[in-house]
Structure 1
């Protein structure tokens, strides 16, 4: 993937380049840098790049001072004229208050605005998350699998222990590894009332929305499944769920998506998340299954280990995805204040839902089934984690058999 950094501050440029090279598959040879808008335009007249990391406080030429609208003016110029190669993704980054304020009013063609603060690591995490997603999209375009395999339900996880819980289901799993693909896919067939359904399960290379979107894109291309489901564990909102409860995200959103605004002279982050909803044809079955007390009781009673004292419940409610593991109750409270129906916080589901929404037709129906293993605060404990993994995996099995298999 070809990356162009347009940045006139040498120290900031070094920090951005260092952050990018921490991403697997990106080296210095993949990165070019320029210091002004005119030089970037000259390059884009001659060749294309896949991603631009753009300073908002940018000079038009090397002999001129930077302006707060320099980055936005550059984007308007290249996107409105046919003589430029327009990049697929542009991530804006700035530590200048005036530039951030201008971008808050008119983001234009930018794909996210990041506040740069050299004393914090947050900007690095946000930048790497966006770049990993762009990298996944690029790979799905240039490295599509050379074959298509039959599959009805694709199950994704972010952790090996989550995949292990799926593979412990009473099915005969076989393993498949395509040439040139580092992912191992586990395939099985399940009998339903309307005949067999083919399942495939795999785990992402790391946690996070970008890695999940990358794996989801590969599985969609390789198996063309009718359904795409995320399994595993999630943090829950204390007082709204119990430990071990199952959460089906509706809606799913990225709680870190938004813009910086100037309010009373101070920079404030204003969340503006895009919400992805369950397909209206799929949601009624999930709601019905969530209220199926016989199904939920059977899952709880069949667990062979220590289980919570309360019954197993299932909630079809809002779940926020983010680029970081949360263990601070104050942050969870802040996220909750922007969505009064928030029931869970985790790192992957939005990536899964987005991959299903933007892929080529026919698109799979995507949903998530994660069970609460903690309350995303310092009181985290792992005693309920095995039970939560079991509940997630077995709910998926029963839902496929009893509900999807009935169609």
Structure 2
């Protein structure tokens, strides 16, 4: 927690109240100015900020009524400042409280008057402190063990089985109380350091199963990176069988609404697209341009595989709830949603969304799917094992460059 106040008697009183709620001084930082608080917010993450409204910009300057509000503005505007989960404003000045009220209301933060004759401020702090302590306790109970890379697969076969086979290491099963999902863990030696990897698969295909699995796995293992590998359908003429698509953007192609018209009911698409993180994009571009690595991945698969060498591309990948076997489907998505869509699957967007919504620290997300068919009437499963195997190697190589 962070207390920002230039009056030491008030700081001591706040510390006394927090200690009564179970927060000892070792978990509390203090600052006496806007500049000092901003420095701490750049360096640390806080669950609670207790903020005086009348603050000097620097310790050498006089306090003014807009000091606290200025810090709030910087927290919202400056991405280098870690935004606290909760902010409580305290002031003895009715005038300062009135001036700051709009800014606090806009952020849904609390603001109360401080004084020896007022108890609301101490009750508000105790409530926030106890909530954060209880939440922290629950999160620690749910974390089985931290992991560097979490792999989420659509199904046990072929995706998960080929993933474990491709990575090569021996995986040990992990039991999680109250969770029936089977998780497997291994540790890899990568560039003179150990990288922990946890892998799992959903019980069935689809957006809902993938989102549910990713959400609870992130709670259990707090991964730095979430990776989904496996198979997808590709757009004929734009990609080749076996080619690996790393999603530059992902979205639910079924997001929108049905409207009535003179021509009958029509679907109006309104997808929300998630873009790849810039660091992840750079790592993906490096891996996909490394033809020597791709050749080794292709050659290491001992089974049915395409005649052409393994290649990859960074391109839009859409997800939806239904299996597609319609040759005109891709053109419909390209015309009405994203012109350069290269592939479709049933899970990737859900994994990306769940990773984005995971509690901190936020994991990066990699979606690497290889083209097993063209989602048309000639749909076959000849290369599903190969696609699951090679996408796993590509996904792991990208993740390894980000650790």
SS of residue matched to 1:281 = helix
What does the per-residue CA deviation read over 1:239-290, in whole Å, with 9 as the maximum and x for residues that have no partner?
1111111011121000000122344564321111000011122211111211
Provide the residue aligned with 1:10 in structure 2: none
What does the per-residue CA deviation read over 1:293-319, in whole Å, with 9 as the maximum and x for residues that have no partner?
111111112222232121211111011
Between Structure 1 and Structure 2, whose CA radius of gyration is higher?
2
2:161 to 158, 161, 164: 164
SS of residue matched to 1:306 = coil
Number of aligned positions between the proteins: 263
| CA apart distance, 1:143 | 11
Provide the residue aligned with 1:206 in structure 2: 204
The 5 Å alignment of 1:186-197 reads 186-197=184-195
Provide the residue aligned with 1:40 in structure 2: none
* Distance change in 2, residues 1:145/1:204 (3 Å): farther
Q: Does 1:370 align with 2:366?
A: no
| Counterparts of 1:342 and 1:264, CA distance in 2 | 30
Q: Does 1:242 align with 2:258?
A: no
Provide the residue aligned with 1:221 in structure 2: 219
SS of residue matched to 1:151 = coil
The 5 Å alignment of 1:220-369 reads 220-264=218-262, 266-338=264-336, 339-369=338-368
* Distance change in 2, residues 1:194/1:325 (3 Å): same
| Counterparts of 1:166 and 1:145, CA distance in 2 | 29
SS of residue matched to 1:342 = coil
What does the per-residue CA deviation read over 1:20-74, in whole Å, with 9 as the maximum and x for residues that have no partner?
xxxxxxxxxxxxxxxxxxxxxxxxxxxxxxxxxxxxxxxxxxxxxxxxxxxxxxx
* RMSD over equivalenced CA pairs, Å: 1.9
| Counterparts of 1:197 and 1:284, CA distance in 2 | 20
SS of residue matched to 2:310 = coil
Contact 2:287 2:397 survives alignment (8 Å): no
Structure 1: 5+ residue stretches without partners? 1-141
SS of residue matched to 1:283 = helix
* Distance change in 2, residues 1:143/1:371 (3 Å): same
SS of residue matched to 1:309 = coil
* Distance change in 2, residues 1:145/1:315 (3 Å): farther
1:152 to 148, 152, 156: 148
| Counterparts of 2:355 and 2:143, CA distance in 1 | 20
Contact 1:145 1:221 survives alignment (8 Å): no
Provide TM-score, normalisation by structure 1.
0.62
What does the per-residue CA deviation read over 1:347-373, in whole Å, with 9 as the maximum and x for residues that have no partner?
001100111112222110111111111
Contact 1:250 1:316 survives alignment (8 Å): yes
SS of residue matched to 2:180 = coil
